[in-house]
């Protein structure tokens, strides 16, 4: 959806991008909002911007409270290979899921909204640990009726992935549709992006546009003009896949954040078959993987760790010493990682003095294949780097 912003409003965004402190961000965002003309075409952007503003204000409040030494922390430090936040309606079973899937000592309760602070726990998938965070519930579809609304959304924004928990014994369509819509209004999109557009501001060098794929209905000059509207004179725009000019604008504004996600339908033990079917239909339409489970009885819980790992698009690489010793703990990298990424992860000097590598495993044509630094690795590969 295009933002329909006039250049005067776009020109204000640069201050938001350059703001360092929360206070600066809030002031700059307020200025941006007041410069946006209010009409149908800017409705979505305004909704997103005002939500972002209230979230920043809540973050500032929390920071102040913590400074004076009072008040609990909402932010959860990342641990393990990735952090997944569980979102859902009250009493959908998030806390019981956390208790069953992780080492966290938490207790479920029949009283809705009983979790008022995020609770982390570590879940094992084979030889990696993933962090699950049980977030205070959101009453999706009922408007922002809870004081932690912005902070729970903030948790999801910071996480590497989202697990949307749906109660199969209640109206599945209503829960899912309202959650997806509300998250979208907050700039959080479930599932895989069609294109990756990243934008990095630089201090010199003009505008560089790198397209690995295709710009739809736009030329690199249109991108350049858009950036100039935003008063951006230096930076690198990388486009991987098929992207439109709106995707580029979303990368600048940061108002479309695709999160790797899965949808978990819980309480299979008391749900009707029709609920499971509705879950499947909606999830397939969204293009998001789903699973029906029972946290209480244990149905399908053993399938969740693998599903989470796969949705995050991570791969495990085992480094091998020339002596033959293979590391027991994997390096966890993003799908698409190359031998060079492994070298960098070990040590920068390894990357600089790289000669060649030998690989074993799924991406090797034969065991011990000799490859260059650009070789793309797969989950489970063993890599020996020669520098
Ligand atoms: N039958 C059944 N009940 C479940 C299941 N999972 C959770 N429950 C029950 O549902 C109630 C709510 O579970 P919680 O895990 O506390 O739900 P929550 O999503 O954390 O809810 P709040 O944090 O309170 O908003 C509790 O009484 C649980 O025992 C399930 O798979 N089947
Ligand atoms: Mg709970």
What DSSP letter does each residue of 226-277 carry, written as one string? HHHHTT--SEEEEEEEEEEHHHHHHHHHT--EEE-EEEEEE-GGG--HHHHH
- Catalogue the E-assigned strands of the chain: 82-88, 119-125, 128-134, 161-167, 188-190, 195-201, 207-216, 235-244, 257-259, 261-266, 290-292, 314-319, 331-334, 356-360, 369-371, 382-386
Does ligand 1 have an atom closer than 6 angstroms to the CB of 118? no
Work out the mean pLDDT of the chain and round it to a whole number. 91
| pLDDT of residue 322 exceeding 90 | no
Question: What are 363's strand-pairing partners?
Answer: none
Q: Atom of ligand 1 at shortest distance to CA of 109?
A: 16
- Choose which residue among 94, 101, 108, 301 to substitute to test ligand 1 binding: the one with the highest number of ligand atoms within 8 A of its C-beta: 108
User: What is the pLDDT, as a whole number, of residue 70?
Assistant: 65
Q: Atom of ligand 1 at shortest distance to CA of 268?
A: 31
The dihedral sign for the CA sequence 155, 156, 160, 161:
positive
Among the residue ranges 119-123, 144-148, 369-373, the one predicted with the least confidence is: 144-148
Q: Atom of ligand 1 at shortest distance to CA of 295?
A: 31
Match 């003095």 to its residue by tokens.
353
| pLDDT of residue 349 exceeding 90 | no
User: What is the pLDDT, as a whole number, of residue 65?
Assistant: 80
pTM of the model: 0.86
CATH of domain 1-71: 1.20.58
- Choose which residue among 117, 164, 295, 298 to substitute to test ligand 1 binding: the one with the highest number of ligand atoms within 8 A of its C-beta: 295
286's tokens: 């969204």
Ligand lying closest to the C-alpha of residue 266: 1
How confident is residue 360, by pLDDT bands cut at 50, 70 and 90?
A: very high
Percent of the residues in the chain that have a pLDDT greater than 90, as a whole number: 65
| pLDDT of residue 52 exceeding 70 | yes
Nearest CA to ligand 1 atom 13: 93
User: What is the pLDDT, as a whole number, of residue 68?
Assistant: 73
| Cβ–Cβ under 8 Å, residues 306 and 281 | no
Ligand lying closest to the C-alpha of residue 265: 1
User: What is the pLDDT, as a whole number, of residue 2?
Assistant: 62
CA–centroid distance, 218 to ligand 2, in Å, is 47
Match 């902070």 to its residue by tokens.
151
Percent of the residues in the chain that have a pLDDT greater than 70, as a whole number: 98
**Identical topology for domains 1-71 and 82-190+260-311:** no
Q: Atom of ligand 1 at shortest distance to CA of 293?
A: 31
Burial 315-329 (b: 16+ CB within 10 A, else e): bbbbbbeeeeeeeee
Within 8 A by CB and 6+ apart from 114, the residues are 95, 108
Nearest CA to ligand 1 atom 32: 267
Nearest CA to ligand 1 atom 1: 267
User: What is the pLDDT, as a whole number, of residue 72?
Assistant: 66
Does ligand 1 have an atom closer than 6 angstroms to the CB of 91? yes
CA 93 to chain CA centroid, Å, is: 22
| pLDDT of residue 363 exceeding 60 | yes
User: What is the pLDDT, as a whole number, of residue 4?
Assistant: 79
Kindly state the average pLDDT of the residues 347-366. 92
Q: Name the pairing type of β-strands 314-319 and 331-334.
A: antiparallel
Instruction: State the Cα–Cα distance between residues 144 and 163, nearest whole angstrom.
Output: 20
> Can you identify the CATH homologous superfamily of domain 82-190+260-311?
P-loop containing nucleotide triphosphate hydrolases (3.40.50.300)
Does ligand 1 have an atom closer than 6 angstroms to the CB of 108? yes
Does ligand 1 have an atom closer than 6 angstroms to the CB of 295? yes
Q: Atom of ligand 1 at shortest distance to CA of 86?
A: 19
- Catalogue the E-assigned strands of 60-180: 82-88, 119-125, 128-134, 161-167
Q: Would you list the domain boundaries of the chain?
A: 1-71, 82-190+260-311, 193-256, 315-386
CA 216 to chain CA centroid, Å, is: 25
Ligand lying closest to the C-alpha of residue 91: 1
Kindly state the average pLDDT of the residues 130-143. 93
Kindly state the average pLDDT of the residues 65-72. 71
User: What is the pLDDT, as a whole number, of residue 71?
Assistant: 63
Does ligand 1 have an atom closer than 6 angstroms to the CB of 298? no
Burial 146-171 (b: 16+ CB within 10 A, else e): bebbbbbbbbbbebbbbbbbbbbbee
User: What is the pLDDT, as a whole number, of residue 347?
Assistant: 86
Count of Cβ atoms closer than 10 Å to residue 101 Cβ: 24
Among the residue ranges 21-25, 175-179, 194-198, the one predicted with the least confidence is: 194-198
- Choose which residue among 87, 88, 96 to substitute to test ligand 1 binding: the one with the highest number of ligand atoms within 8 A of its C-beta: 96
Kindly state the average pLDDT of the residues 222-246. 89
Nearest CA to ligand 1 atom 9: 93
Q: Count of residues for the chain?
A: 387
How confident is residue 107, by pLDDT bands cut at 50, 70 and 90?
A: very high
Topology of the domain covering 315-386: Ubiquitin-like (UB roll) (3.10.20)
How confident is residue 74, by pLDDT bands cut at 50, 70 and 90?
A: confident
Higher pLDDT, 301 or 206: 301
Cα atoms found within 13 Å of the Cα of residue 47, Cβ hemisphere only:
17
């Amino acid at each position: 959806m295009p933002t329909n912003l006039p250049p005067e409003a776009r020109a204000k965004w640069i201050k938001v991008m350059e703001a360092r402190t929360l206070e600066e961000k809030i002031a700059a965002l307020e200025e941006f909002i007041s410069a946006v003309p209010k009409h149908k075409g800017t409705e979505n952007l305004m909704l997103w911007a005002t939500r972002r503003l209230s979230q920043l204000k809540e973050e500032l409040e929390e920071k102040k409270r913590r400074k004076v030494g009072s008040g609990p922390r909402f932010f959860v430090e990342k641990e393990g290979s990735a952090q997944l936040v569980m979102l859902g309606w009250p009493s959908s079973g998030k806390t019981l899921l956390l208790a069953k899937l992780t080492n966290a000592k938490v207790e479920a309760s029949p009283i809705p909204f009983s979790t008022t602070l995020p609770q982390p726990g570590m879940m094992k998938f084979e030889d990696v640990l993933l962090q699950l965070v049980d977030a205070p519930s959101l009453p999706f579809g009922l408007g922002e009726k809870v004081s932690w609304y912005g902070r729970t959304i903030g948790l999801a924004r910071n996480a590497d992935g989202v697990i949307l928990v749906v109660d199969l014994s209640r109206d599945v369509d209503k829960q899912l549709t309202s959650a997806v819509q509300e998250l979208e209004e907050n700039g959080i999109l479930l599932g895989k992006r069609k294109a990756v557009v990243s934008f990095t501001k630089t201090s010199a060098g003009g505008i560089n546009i790198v397209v690995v794929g295709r710009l739809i209905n736009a030329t690199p000059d249109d991108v350049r003009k858009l950036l100039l509207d935003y008063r951006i004179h230096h930076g690198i725009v990388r486009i991987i896949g098929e992207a439109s000019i709106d995707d580029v604008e979303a990368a600048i504004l940061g108002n479309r954040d695709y999160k790797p996600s899965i949808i978990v339908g819980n309480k299979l033990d008391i749900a009707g078959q029709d609920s499971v079917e509705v879950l499947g239909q909606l999830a397939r339409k969204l293009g998001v993987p789903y699973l029906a489970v029972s946290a209480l009885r244990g149905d399908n819980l053993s399938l969740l760790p693998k599903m989470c790992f796969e949705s995050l698009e991570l791969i495990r690489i085992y480094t091998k010493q020339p002596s033959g010793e293979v590391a027991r703990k994997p390096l966890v990298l993003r799908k698409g990682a190359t031998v060079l990424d492994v070298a960098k992860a070990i040590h920068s000097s390894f990357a600089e003095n790289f000669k060649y590598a030998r690989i074993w495993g799924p991406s090797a044509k034969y065991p011990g294949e000799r490859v260059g630094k650009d070789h793309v690795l797969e989950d489970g590969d063993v890599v020996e780097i020669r520098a």
